[in-house]
Structure 1
Amino acid sequence: MSRSVDKDGFPAYVSAWEDRIGAFLELLEPGQWPAAQTGGELSPVAGLPCGVKDNIAVEGFGLTCGSKLLKDFRATYTATAVKRLEAAGARVIGKTNMDEFGMGSSTDNSALKRTNNPWDTSRVAGGSSGGSAAAVAAGLVPFALGSDTGGSVRQPAAFCGVVGLKPTYGAVSRFGLVAYASSLESIGVLADSVSRARDVFRIIQGEDPLDETTIASRIVQGVHGGTAGSTNPGSIGGPGGSSNPGNPGSAKNSSSSSNPGSADSPSNYGRTEKILAVLDPVSLADAVSAAVRGAAQAGVAGRGAETGPGSAGAEAQLINLLEKEVLQGYSKAIEGFKALGYRIQEIVIPSLAYSVPVYYTIATAEASANLARFDGIRYGKRPEWAENPEDLIDKTRAMGFGPEVKLRILLGTFVLRSGFQDRYYLRAQRLRKRITSEFLSLFSAKEGSKEGPSALLMPVFPTRAFGRSENGLGGPALSAFAQKAADIFTCPANLAGLPAIAFPASVEGGLPVGVQLLGAPFSEELLCSIAAEYEAEHPIPHPEGFQSFWR
């Protein structure tokens, strides 16, 4: 089906919004857009503009990762996911802002500019894909690519009131994505509707010879009542899903007979009943408390003693980290799905208690290795003068990296030190395997005739979009430590390599509240189908001043 753009008034609209929110680091004028696809059968994205997060390579555009270190770097090739979109007729019109190297929950960690939330410009857009989420929420593009390492697509989607899809690890090629934590991250989609997110995912997914972690298509369609090609989602591998955690390539050649483009493809892993697993309010509160304790033990305090664990300011804030408005939105989502005929199954997930420290131990360890290449010799803007190669590397990294990146590199280097690997890193890998096993078993067939849930419904973040401390506007800021502890609901999907989709549940106090659905590996179509049911009854909200230019 052809999709077109109504350009009347669009340049002025983009200029006005971009001045307010700062979603893009680089943005083409409409007259500079690539030529639209014409003739033949048009794809759902043909002719549509899109944004790409600035850690994903697009030839000719910048590739800064939101860092001073790469401020003037231009990509010399294009990521596989972007190539597939361009081949389908989509037009990349700009690179979106992000937290430096994907490390952050606000996009305020970008060294190049700040991105504001379209719903309230005194609040953050979320992160690390905040620029992509803000651009979609304001109607500047109908969809954008982001990356999700511990929630970096889903959290800004929730803050900005858009849809955020994190695919199964290995479903989308990471070739062209600047690595932060290679066993955790996926290229994902931010979009103005569930159907749009699904359209984009169908285009970018699939095996890629340039990325050995990709897996041959095993997409499962999302119509209840079908029969699936596999009733054992845990058998396909993925991070922690096999005897070799973090090696999804173990399932590389396994394929499915399902056809992603066919409406009658197998679905729902053979389930016939509509069941959603949820966390009860007590479990939610316990999970957040456990995340706070775990993050403190892992030493992920962040900048400044005043925001560290144990400080008076942090403790007072963390007691009330789970906002009542988030609970209200979550409750409304549960009631909404009940009205759609879903049976709600309350569960407890013990592994949530240690998912945050496990995530930050593994993510920072991988980051310390991946970011070693930014040394002024291989990559990175080097100083004008240095005494020797060691001095060159020291000065390059000291001047180029921001405080959050330095913190995570130091933490990752520490947990990989001789004598500490067993205590921290290897222990975290063992716990990761346990987390993966627990989540996979949730979606597996139960004893006898009982079926497991189709998906797990959870909040995305314990708070709505938070404010900034320096201006006192937009509500209280969230400390660096609290932001890390608040990854409690998003990082499990990355640790287990599972797909997840975030979408708006409601608007509370003038701000969107997002929820997310987690599913078995390669159940993206099912998750989109469930989310689309909710969206049909609860349309995507928009900030004041929003206009739609997309058809």
Structure 2
Amino acid sequence: MSIDLTRASADEMARALAAGETTSVELTRAALAATELVDGAVHAYLHVDAEGALAAAAESDARRAAGTPASALDGVPIAVKDVLTTTGLPTTCGSKILEGWIPPYDATVVARLKAAGLPILGKTNMDEFAMGSSTEHSAYGPTHNPWDLERIPGGSGGGSAAAVASFQAPLALGTDTGGSIRQPGAVTGTVGVKPTYGGVSRYGLVAMANSLDQVGPVTRTVLDAALLHEIIGGHDPLDSTSVDQPLPPLVEAARQGATGDLSGLKVGVITELSGEGYQSGVLARFNESVDLLVAAGAEVVEVSCPNFVHALATYYLVMPCEASSNLAKFDAMRYGLRVLPEGVESPSAEEVMRATRDAGFGDEVKRRIILGTYALSSGYYDAYYGTAQRVRTLISQDFAAAFEQVDVLVSPTSPTTAFKLGEKLDDPLAMYLNDLATIPANLAGVPGISVPSGLAEEDGLPTGFQVLAPALADDRLYRVGAALEAALEAIWGGPLLDKAPTLEGAAR
């Protein structure tokens, strides 16, 4: 089989490698060449490690030649969000306060990528400390959506999604705290998965909100996501929140779903996650996708989750409280940026800390630290944080009640398509509304996937279809996602990304 070295799926690349039709070095060089060609316009990467990636690719080719590949994806290159620690490579979290910091250890998911033989191309751009929905809050400049360079690629993991969507990498890792894998997936026409909380190790993930953060795959196909998920998933004794249970058969579920048979599956359309506030083109593509699930044999019913209307407010109390606590460690005393206050001859540690945090953190990070610290302060803890945690329990109970009626829940992933760069920077509340449909899954710890569902007629930009499943039932995401993907690609005549504009020659 002859494959396009950059546009092929990861599964196609793996099969070509196994058949001896290409090499990992060829695939890695092709990905690096694509980055050289288009990333000046897209800015998906903060750091590209060409030398390291090619060295890992050569080692992969040697294993293939010896007949001892480390995994099915051995030799397929990947990009990693810059919030995951990587030995020998900078990890900045998109912040000036960590500029140039090189961790002394690998995150567990990074170690698993290396053990599986995937060359790491580099670290992708992100909203500072994962705080944002547009990747405009990066201290190193925004990432641009490959579909329209004047629009956002989603956030906080817009760099990973843009790298995959612009064919600079067949695979990427992202993190999802309130939708930061799924929402970028929706607006860039890629597949994004938030696994069950605890199903993928968080060790080595620079935490924003410990009870919400989750690492997951960013890919161009549902099968590719399943293949990557099986590599990074599973129990990790280094992560106290890791679930000590085997992963369900994710790849098998994706292959089963691709046959297009969803007989016996009951799908719930969430009443509270559609209608007012959703772009008409997004709703049109969503309704068409639901019809395709019915055609595949699924039974579809409406399900009400009444407490979902409080999810946004709940999240924006829980998350800043945890973030303000987590970011306290960036104090200029141990590592990272250190700024001396002007005009102070012998500054105290507190004065250095204040000057450093003022210079090192961006506006959005400061906004959330202040909000979280206020909500946790004496006299307000129960009124704000405590109340939010009680509402969070009600949202989890809504999920539990819904999953007694149906196998999966569905909704649009994002209320709108990608908005223009700068359009919402001065209106944080409008920015936060982009996570309206994705946040409930993080609050309850259940898994979710976003699958491309077509282009909105108003602007010709991608829309996303979200599937949610009960905790530890991640295989259901892949079965339903692959069935929808197969049905839509039969209509489109191929993947949605084939319709994206070419970026060759684009410069910025």
TM-score by length of 1: 0.79
Q: Which residue of 2 aligns with 1:341?
A: 297
How big is each residue's C-alpha offset from its partner over 1:418-468, in whole Å with a ceiling of 9 and x where there is no partner?
Answer: 111111100111111111111022113xxxxxxx32211111111101002
**In the aligned structure 2, how far is the partner of 1:393 from the partner of 1:173?**
31
Q: Which residue of 2 aligns with 1:541?
A: 496
**In the aligned structure 1, how far is the partner of 2:479 from the partner of 2:163?**
24
1:366 aligned to 2:326?
Answer: no
Structure with the bigger percentage of helix: 2
Contact 2:226-2:254 at 8 Å conserved across structures:
no
Q: Which amino acid aligns with 1:512?
A: P
Gaps of 5+ in 2: 1-13, 18-22, 257-261, 490-494
Q: Choose from 216, 224, 229 the match for 1:201.
A: 229
Distance 1:53 1:262, change over 3 A: closer
Structure 1 segment 389-400 matched on structure 2, within 5 A: 389-400=349-360
Structure 1 segment 123-134 matched on structure 2, within 5 A: 123-134=151-162
1:454 aligned to 2:445?
Answer: no
**In the aligned structure 2, how far is the partner of 1:478 from the partner of 1:158?**
23
Q: Which residue of 1 aligns with 2:42?
A: 21
How big is each residue's C-alpha offset from its partner over 1:132-189, in whole Å with a ceiling of 9 and x where there is no partner?
Answer: 0000001111111111000000000111100001000000110000010000010111
Structure 1 segment 76-95 matched on structure 2, within 5 A: 76-95=104-123
**In the aligned structure 1, how far is the partner of 2:253 from the partner of 2:267?**
25
Q: Which residue of 1 aligns with 2:6?
A: none
Structure 1 segment 438-449 matched on structure 2, within 5 A: 438-444=398-404
Contact 2:317-2:372 at 8 Å conserved across structures:
yes
1:63 aligned to 2:81?
Answer: no
Contact 1:221-1:523 at 8 Å conserved across structures:
no
Contact 1:455-1:518 at 8 Å conserved across structures:
yes
The offset of 1:486, in angstroms, is 2.8
**In the aligned structure 2, how far is the partner of 1:405 from the partner of 1:132?**
21
**In the aligned structure 1, how far is the partner of 2:354 from the partner of 2:32?**
44
Q: Which residue of 2 aligns with 1:525?
A: 475
Q: 188-197 vs 321-330, which deviates more? A: 321-330
Q: Which residue of 1 aligns with 2:9?
A: none
Gaps of 5+ in 1: 223-259, 266-270, 287-320, 445-451, 471-475
Distance 1:90 1:11, change over 3 A: closer
1:274 aligned to 2:265?
Answer: yes
The offset of 1:207, in angstroms, is 1.0
Structure 1 segment 160-239 matched on structure 2, within 5 A: 160-221=188-249
**In the aligned structure 2, how far is the partner of 1:93 from the partner of 1:11?**
7
Q: Choose from 312, 316, 324 the match for 1:356.
A: 312
The two structures, once aligned, show a CA RMSD in angstroms of: 2.3
How big is each residue's C-alpha offset from its partner over 1:251-279, in whole Å with a ceiling of 9 and x where there is no partner?
Answer: xxxxxxxxx879999xxxxx972111113
Q: Which residue of 1 aligns with 2:396?
A: 436
3-state SS of 2:454 partner: strand
**In the aligned structure 1, how far is the partner of 2:326 from the partner of 2:468?**
28
3-state SS of 1:278 partner: strand
**In the aligned structure 2, how far is the partner of 1:344 from the partner of 1:490?**
20
**In the aligned structure 1, how far is the partner of 2:174 from the partner of 2:387?**
30
Distance 1:32 1:358, change over 3 A: closer
**In the aligned structure 1, how far is the partner of 2:378 from the partner of 2:52?**
56
Q: Which residue of 1 aligns with 2:420?
A: 467
TM-score by length of 2: 0.86
How big is each residue's C-alpha offset from its partner over 1:395-428, in whole Å with a ceiling of 9 and x where there is no partner?
Answer: 0111110000000000000110111111110011
Contact 1:466-1:477 at 8 Å conserved across structures:
no
1:507 aligned to 2:455?
Answer: yes
Contact 1:99-1:127 at 8 Å conserved across structures:
yes
How big is each residue's C-alpha offset from its partner over 1:109-144, in whole Å with a ceiling of 9 and x where there is no partner?
Answer: 000122000000000011000000000001111111
Contact 1:124-1:466 at 8 Å conserved across structures:
yes
Distance 1:546 1:346, change over 3 A: farther
How big is each residue's C-alpha offset from its partner over 1:241-298, in whole Å with a ceiling of 9 and x where there is no partner?
Answer: xxxxxxxxxxxxxxxxxxx879999xxxxx9721111135x86235xxxxxxxxxxxx
**In the aligned structure 1, how far is the partner of 2:354 from the partner of 2:201?**
33
Q: Which residue of 2 aligns with 1:447?
A: none
How big is each residue's C-alpha offset from its partner over 1:344-383, in whole Å with a ceiling of 9 and x where there is no partner?
Answer: 1112210111001111100000001000001111333011
Contact 2:263-2:296 at 8 Å conserved across structures:
no
**In the aligned structure 2, how far is the partner of 1:10 from the partner of 1:468?**
26
Q: Which amino acid aligns with 1:460?
A: T
